[in-house]
Structure 1
Amino acid sequence: MAAEQVLIGGKWRDAEHNETFQAENPTRKQTLPEQYPISSWSDVDQALAASATAFQEMRQMAVEKLELFLNRFAELLDDNKQAICELANLESGLPISPRLLDVEMPRTINQLRLAAAAAVDGSWRAATIDTKSGIRSYFAGIGPVAVFGPNNFPLAFNGAAGGDFAAAIAAGNPVIVKANPAQPGTTRELVKLAQQAANESGLPSATVQLIYHMANEDGLKFVADHRLGAIGFTGSKTAGLKLKEAADKVGKPIYLEMSSVNPVVILPGALSERGEAIATEFQTSCLMAAGQFCTNPGLVILLDDDQTAKFIESSKKAFMQAPSGTLLTKGVEAGLTQNLKVLIDAGADVEVSGSGEGSSQGYTCPNTLLSTTAEKFLATSEVFQTEAFGNCSLIVKAKNLAEICAVIDSLEGNLTGTIYSDTAGGDDPAYDQVADHLRQKVGRLIDDKMPTGVAVSIAMNHGGPFPATGHPGFTSVGIPASIHRFAALQCFDNVRPNRLPRELQDESPNGKTWRLIDGAWTQDSIG
């Protein structure tokens, strides 16, 4: 069978390499028939050259074309959603309904439309004008962007349609899509629709390009190439840190989402008030999609008392009764098994390692609930923070509030941190202490709900201190804030009015763009 073609410079063609790989159906542990190429550096080099040319064209292009493209792409996704979700199901094992068709596809379409609105509105550029000094600045596209998509969100975070893609395009950058090897077919179909939308919208032919896979050394060379403006990556800490090292050596901006155990602190009053309900919420959040969310509650911290003992018993029962879900790949199964062993070898006790009827026959792992004491956790906190990506969690039992705060202080950066407290106010003094410690360890502080959901909101921060992400000042979800990762601040000093970009001219570009003029935000023209 001939290998699928790559998309470079607006043309689908054979990759310049004979080596191939195949995706798998994880629910059946079966290799799928399609062959996908592992590109040589020649493919990557040509994609970079074409992308650099496309960026020069896009710099001169009206933002209305970006709006047209993003909205048209959203329309095409909506028109073809059933077929795309069926293919994504085949490659990921995630259910077509409700997960892919009813949740993830609408989210993907909505992201594209939000990016379209932000692109044409232009307020994200933060145009700043000082009329007295003649200095004006704004954010503009940074250059070609490489987007590495993850395996756990084949649509909403896909390199060819997800949040990074939408943000990069809205900033005015072409995108080189690096498909996740677990879902190459899904990515191919998304790229086909993106190319159609680009052609219909009059964008450069190399606005969107696709490379399925490449050798590790070529991947490191890729992210360090001078023609690339920035990189967006969602995936494992191991791969992310290698790419970061290569990009950092040449000063290349790289935005990473890598690892997070998402601590959940449950205070005594909350357990007394609604312990059973919280246990149900915990089980649902932890085991949803076999725990393969970057915001999975992988660490639960409580006081060691009778209420906690009841909570653990309720959670054990829920974990044992629930079926184990399908893991995305053989590699996820191996990684989860290995990291559970690391935690157990470090001294974690196994509360549950089993699942209910109807468990997956594909790549899977028994639902696992571990526990340890705060004293043990603090002795080797780095080891106990090993992320076991999947359907498992670690409960930490502390003697007192001071130990809870000490455990929090020992944590690395995380995407989220949650605190459950009672509604009557009895936990408020403890909450204030815990929140003070937890706030600096997480990107998003949550009250009284599990962290699994990541709303597509203009106020959302899906980021956090290292190693949750590579930079605590940015988010991968939340337009327009997420666009800034793929933009550069450009300043114009004493530049003649007719030579300024339209966002920095005296006349308002469209009457809607917010600009900071002489210290005041306004949508009006100057004078």
Structure 2
Amino acid sequence: MEQVLIEGAWQSSSEIVGGFRAVDPATGEAIGPEFPRSGGKDIERALATAVAVADELARTSPERIADFFERYASGIEAAAEELVATAHAETALPAPTRLAAVELPRTTGQLRLAAQAVRERAWTHPVIDTKAGLRAHYAPLHKPVLVMGPNNFPFAFNAVAGSDFASAIAARNPVIAKAHPSHPATSQLLARIAHEAVLAAGLPAASVQLLYDFDPALGLALAGDRRLGAIGFTGSRGGGLALKAAADRAGIPIYAEMSSVNPVFLLPGAVRERGEALAQEFFASCTMGSGQFCTNPGIVLLPAGEAGDAFVAAAAQHFAAAAPAVLFSQGVQQHLANGVRDLRAAGAQVVAGSAEASGPGARYAPSLMSVAAEDFLANAQALQQEAFGPVSLLVRYDNADQAVEAARAFDGNLTGSVFAAGDGSDDADYARIAAALRPKVGRLINDKWPTGVAVSAAMQHGGPYPSTSHAGFTSVGMPAAIHRFAALQAYDNVGDDRLPPELRNANPHRIQRLVDGVWTTADIA
């Protein structure tokens, strides 16, 4: 049985309530060593230890935190070959084109951006009002952060390497990471590199702890423990809402990214102008990563009529010819099958693909479904439930009024996209649809498919409930993502020598500060 990272060291679990192995999604066969499913004793030890080091980590210099991130990023790069091979075996994601070329560099890039944000103190957002004698900034929580990672990004959203993790550590909070059981060996490798970097950078040894899995009931109890400072979660809506309910009862902030259908509106002029190319792009976006992206285009709205029919025919050809896609697990496959069943029960018709599981391991046939806009509007809640995988629903609208009404019927989503003609013929419709869609989505996209999230300070990877638990925050992009795991603290009439470095009048480092309503670059520590 593999060891857990707890109390600052790798050691055997103190209470094992079961074991599990990773599963190769392509074959359905168990692979690798056995990992422990922890009981309550492990959770209590991890939480108590994290609480014990929280104040020490909060007092740690930003230079040491930044040093940790840079050491960690370099360690990941040094172990890239082993990490990619392990993640490929556990997830079946393409090793060279996805894991090695895209996701691993994105992960190390995020860590280095976190280091930069820490050194620049940008995330502290200092505000000074000399007339009122008030000063404020963002500061550590002085409590642990629980991070629960998803199945679909073994590196970039991993509980012990992803953006939630980096954001929590950047704010100088210890992290209790709960790995996703779909990729335990990948998480273990990352945690070993992180632990080495923690020790080398001189952080408290228990700044990073890792448990592989535990019973959902224990997870809910942990989410409601007031010793936690915050929770970062990426996963299903059901799991996220259950954790949110437990955290809300205890007054613990939870930043949960849950589900999203990411509506895409194709306007008439755009479909007439480049319908065949859009059909190819749509298929590529929907099936990228076997459709297992949180920004997958789950619903595409397009006009009825000849141009729309041609788009559907072209897209249907691509879906019908596609081989079954490998999913992350049998659980994902079953969840997708249930979602497709519910869509069909709500009135959606299959127009391409078998809309069912197919082949060895966890596989599902890429499938295209369709429904008329009037039927969508009559049953919008049932027809906008996420089907996580290579499946999308077409909604055929008769006119711009129907399209606007559909935009207003959507729940909160991570993204919303609108494609318009280049000659301006769609501009009037665009203005109406975009105005209705804008409050429904975190990121409004023009003439691009939603799959993929750029790591940028300007990114909003979040959105209105229920796509996330809070529309005011992002899980991607430094320094904004750090604010989720920070406390806004004000100082009233406190002398300069008693203030945190970011709020003092002058010190050796430079930072952007809001002073009496004017942004200035000032020397601060």
* Conserved 8 A contact 2:15-2:40: no
SS, match of residue 132 in structure 2: coil
Do structure 1's residue 479 and structure 2's residue 494 form an aligned pair? no
CA distance in 1, matches of 2:419, 2:30: 44
Q: How far apart are 1:33 and its partner, in Å?
A: 4.0
Q: How far apart are 1:491 and its partner, in Å?
A: 1.0
Equivalent residues in 2 for 1:439-458, closer than 5 Å: 439-458=438-457
Do structure 1's residue 209 and structure 2's residue 209 form an aligned pair? yes
CA distance in 2, matches of 1:33, 1:62: 39
CA distance in 2, matches of 1:129, 1:362: 59
Q: How far apart are 1:133 and its partner, in Å?
A: 2.4
What is the aligned partner in structure 2 of residue 165 from structure 1?
165
CA distance in 2, matches of 1:108, 1:461: 17
Q: Per-residue CA shift, 1:144-203, capped at 9, x if unaligned?
A: 111100000000000110111111111111111100011111101100000000000000
* Conserved 8 A contact 1:325-1:360: no
SS, match of residue 32 in structure 1: strand
Q: How far apart are 1:497 and its partner, in Å?
A: 2.2
CA distance in 1, matches of 2:30, 2:306: 49
What is the aligned partner in structure 2 of residue 14 from structure 1?
12
What is the aligned partner in structure 1 of residue 3 from structure 2?
5
SS, match of residue 35 in structure 1: strand
Structure 1 unaligned regions, length at least 5? none
What is the aligned partner in structure 2 of residue 407 from structure 1?
406
* Conserved 8 A contact 2:330-2:361: no
CA distance in 2, matches of 1:509, 1:275: 58
CA distance in 2, matches of 1:78, 1:33: 22
RMSD: 1.2
Q: Per-residue CA shift, 1:252-295, capped at 9, x if unaligned?
A: 01001100000000001001110000000000000111100000
Q: How far apart are 1:354 and its partner, in Å?
A: 4.1
Q: Per-residue CA shift, 1:50-73, capped at 9, x if unaligned?
A: 111221101211100000000110
CA distance in 1, matches of 2:179, 2:407: 36
Equivalent residues in 2 for 1:122-271, closer than 5 Å: 122-142=121-141, 143-271=143-271
CA distance in 1, matches of 2:101, 2:522: 41
CA distance in 1, matches of 2:421, 2:359: 37
Q: How far apart are 1:230 and its partner, in Å?
A: 0.6
Do structure 1's residue 505 and structure 2's residue 504 form an aligned pair? yes
What is the aligned partner in structure 1 of residue 100 from structure 2?
101
Q: How far apart are 1:404 and its partner, in Å?
A: 0.9
Q: Give the aligned length.
A: 520
Q: How far apart are 1:360 and its partner, in Å?
A: 6.2
Q: Per-residue CA shift, 1:288-310, capped at 9, x if unaligned?
A: 11100000000001121111100
Q: Per-residue CA shift, 1:221-264, capped at 9, x if unaligned?
A: 11111221111000000100000000011110100110000000
CA distance in 1, matches of 2:32, 2:210: 20
CA distance in 2, matches of 1:181, 1:524: 47
Q: Percent of pairs identical after alignment?
A: 47
Equivalent residues in 2 for 1:338-487, closer than 5 Å: 338-354=338-354, 361-487=360-486
* Conserved 8 A contact 1:502-1:509: no
Q: Per-residue CA shift, 1:456-480, capped at 9, x if unaligned?
A: 0110000000111100000001111
* Conserved 8 A contact 1:126-1:515: yes
CA distance in 1, matches of 2:428, 2:300: 20
Instruction: Output the amino acid matched with 2:37.
Output: I
Q: How far apart are 1:15 and its partner, in Å?
A: 1.1
SS, match of residue 146 in structure 1: strand
Moved more, 285-294 or 318-327: 318-327
CA distance in 1, matches of 2:497, 2:447: 54
Q: How far apart are 1:500 and its partner, in Å?
A: 1.2
CA distance in 2, matches of 1:518, 1:421: 44
SS, match of residue 194 in structure 1: helix
SS, match of residue 445 in structure 1: strand
Structure 2 unaligned regions, length at least 5? none
Q: How far apart are 1:134 and its partner, in Å?
A: 2.0
CA distance in 2, matches of 1:140, 1:379: 48
Moved more, 167-176 or 98-107: 167-176
* Conserved 8 A contact 1:503-1:509: no
CA distance in 2, matches of 1:508, 1:418: 46
CA distance in 1, matches of 2:105, 2:508: 31
What is the aligned partner in structure 1 of residue 336 from structure 2?
336
Q: Per-residue CA shift, 1:302-337, capped at 9, x if unaligned?
A: 121111100000000011122232100010000111
Instruction: Output the amino acid matched with 1:499.
Output: R
CA distance in 2, matches of 1:354, 1:381: 24
Q: Per-residue CA shift, 1:3-26, capped at 9, x if unaligned?
A: 111111111111122321222010
Q: Per-residue CA shift, 1:67-100, capped at 9, x if unaligned?
A: 0000110000010011001000111110111100
TM-score, scaled to structure 1:
0.97
TM-score, scaled to structure 2:
0.97
SS, match of residue 301 in structure 1: strand
* Conserved 8 A contact 1:27-1:360: no
CA distance in 2, matches of 1:508, 1:393: 55
CA distance in 1, matches of 2:213, 2:366: 32
Q: How far apart are 1:524 and its partner, in Å?
A: 2.0
CA distance in 2, matches of 1:91, 1:255: 27
